[in-house]
């Protein structure tokens, strides 16, 4: 129960911060205005979920229910461990995100949002790696987080656009243009995820110990995550090379129905992957 609360808090926080960065990034790439109310809500949510994550971490350490928080342990975590500075940076970044979003400056909001998302790298396995290896690990993890946020933000915008689309309107061509323009960004995102994910895997597990993962929950979850990532790549390729050209044709009705299904499946896979990452961050790879 306590472990479930920690995983749930990590999952919700990862989703929130990924969207806070990913949405303005995609709006900027597409030249879209964006919605400041959504960004303000996500930044406020990031603050609340960070506090929930802290309390869930305290509960996991003390063995007490999250509703019976040990405030002394929380103070120790904030003042005597890296968690305090990490949360200070995150809250400062989220406050700036609220200011910029309220001023209707989504491009400026992207900067503190990226900083807030990057702090997640210090609350998982990368945060525990020391010396130069730790620096390399955290740089790779930040790149991984940013790339994932960009993909998730794009998926949410595209899903919303396709689900609310009426085939007989000029919006069809607009969405086809969005999908085509996302191709370059998507290629960069995938390349970054593959390279940074490989570095993270080597840093956490090590090449020589990879076979040992077959007997651990960590290994099974990692395998499932990679399988879902492969599914997402396949769906993204289908969207780009088959469904987008159909959407640009004179009869896009069938393409729209297939695109809706494909994007919903891709988004569901992304959400499942984040859930697995939230769980993986609480596990010993070889336990």
Q: Which of 88, 123, 158 is the last residue of a domain?
A: 123
108 backbone dihedrals φ, ψ, rounded to 5°:
-70, -30
Q: Are residues 183 and 47 in the same domain?
A: no
Cα 69 to Cα 60: distance, rounded to the nearest angstrom: 10
Does the residue 276 lie in any domain? Answer: yes
Domain identity same for 159 and 203: yes
Q: Are 160 and 117 in a shared domain?
A: no
- Check whether residue 90 and residue 165 sit in a common domain: no
Instruction: Give the per-residue pLDDT at 132.
Output: 86
Q: Which residues of the chain have pLDDT under 50?
A: none
**Residue 266 falls inside a structural domain:** yes
Residue 64: exposed, middle, or buried by beta-carbon count in 10 A (0-12, 13-18, 19+)? middle
226 and 153, same structural domain? yes
Mention every residue, 6+ apart, whose C-beta is less than 8 A from residue 165.
171, 172, 175, 256
Q: How far is CA 261 from CA 40, 126, 177, 267, in A?
A: 30, 35, 19, 10
Residue 70, in any domain of the structure? yes
In this structure, are 14 and 113 located in the same domain? yes
Residue 55: both structure tokens together: 């309390």
Same domain, 45 and 142: no
Structural domain boundaries enclosing 186: 133-287
pLDDT of residue 246: 78
**Whether 102 and 178 share a structural domain:** no
Last residue of one domain, picked from the residues 93, 123, 153: 123
DSSP sequence for the chain: -HHHHHHHHHHHHHHHHHHHHHHHHHHHHHT----HHHHHHHHHHHHHHHHHHHHHHHHHHH---TTS--HHHHHHHHHHSTHHHHHHHHHHHHHHHHHHHHTT-HHHHHHHHHHHHHGGGGGSHHHH--HHHHHHHHHHHHHHHHHHHHHHHHHHHHHHHHHT--TTSTHHHHHHHHHHHHHHHHHHHHHHHHHHHHHHHHHHT-STTGGGGGGSHHHHHHHHHHHHHHHHHHHHHHIIIIIHHHHTSS--HHHHHHHHHHHHHHHHHHHHHHHHHHHHTTS-TT-
6: its two tokens:
């920690």
Question: 94 and 178 share a domain?
Answer: no
Residue 66 located in a structural domain: yes
What's the pLDDT score for residue 250? 61
Instruction: Give the per-residue pLDDT at 172.
Output: 77
Kindly list the distances between the CA atom of residue 175 and the CA atoms of 26, 37, 148, 253, in Å, as whole numbers in the listed order: 13, 23, 21, 13
**56: number of Cβ within 10 Å:** 23
Which tokens is 142 given? 């930040």
Question: pLDDT tens digits, residue range 12-55?
Answer: 999 999 999 999 999 999 888 888 899 999 999 999 999 999 99
**Do residues 110 and 29 both lie within one domain?**
yes
- Report yes or no on 128 lying in a domain: no
pLDDT given for residue 167 in this prediction? 63
Q: How many domains does the chain have?
A: 2
Judgement on whether residues 193 and 285 belong to the same structural domain of the protein: yes
Is residue 12 one of the residues assigned to a domain? yes
Residue 213 included in any domain: yes
Q: Is residue 45 situated within a structural domain?
A: yes
Is the same domain home to 182 and 282? yes
């Amino acid at each position: 129960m306590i472990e479930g609360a920690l995983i749930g808090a990590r999952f919700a926080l990862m989703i929130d911060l990924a969207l806070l960065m990913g949405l303005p990034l995609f709006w900027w790439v597409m030249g879209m205005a964006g919605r400041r109310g959504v960004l303000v809500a996500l930044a406020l949510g990031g603050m609340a979920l960070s506090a929930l994550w802290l309390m869930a971490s305290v509960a996991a350490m003390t063995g007490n229910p999250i509703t019976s928080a040990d405030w002394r342990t929380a103070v120790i975590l904030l003042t005597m461990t890296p968690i305090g500075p990490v949360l200070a940076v995150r809250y400062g970044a989220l406050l700036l995100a609220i200011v910029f979003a309220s001023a209707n400056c989504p491009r400026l909001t992207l900067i503190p949002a990226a900083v807030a998302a990057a702090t997640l790298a210090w609350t998982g396995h990368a945060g525990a790696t020391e010396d130069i290896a730790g620096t390399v690990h955290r740089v790779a993890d930040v790149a991984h987080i940013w790339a994932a946020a960009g993909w998730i933000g794009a998926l949410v915008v595209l899903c919303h656009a396709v689900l609310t689309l009426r085939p007989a309107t000029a919006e069809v061509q607009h969405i086809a243009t969005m999908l085509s323009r996302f191709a370059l960004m998507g290629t960069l995102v995938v390349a970054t995820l593959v390279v940074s994910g490989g570095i993270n895997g080597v840093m956490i597990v090590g090449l020589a110990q990879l076979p040992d993962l077959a007997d651990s929950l960590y290994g099974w979850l990692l395998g499932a995550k990679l399988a879902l990532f492969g599914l997402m790549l396949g769906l993204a390729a289908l969207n780009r090379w088959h469904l987008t050209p159909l959407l640009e044709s004179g009869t896009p009705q069938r393409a729209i129905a297939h695109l809706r299904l494909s994007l919903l499946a891709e988004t569901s896979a992304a959400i499942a992957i984040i859930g697995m990452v939230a769980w993986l961050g609480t596990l010993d790879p070889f336990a």
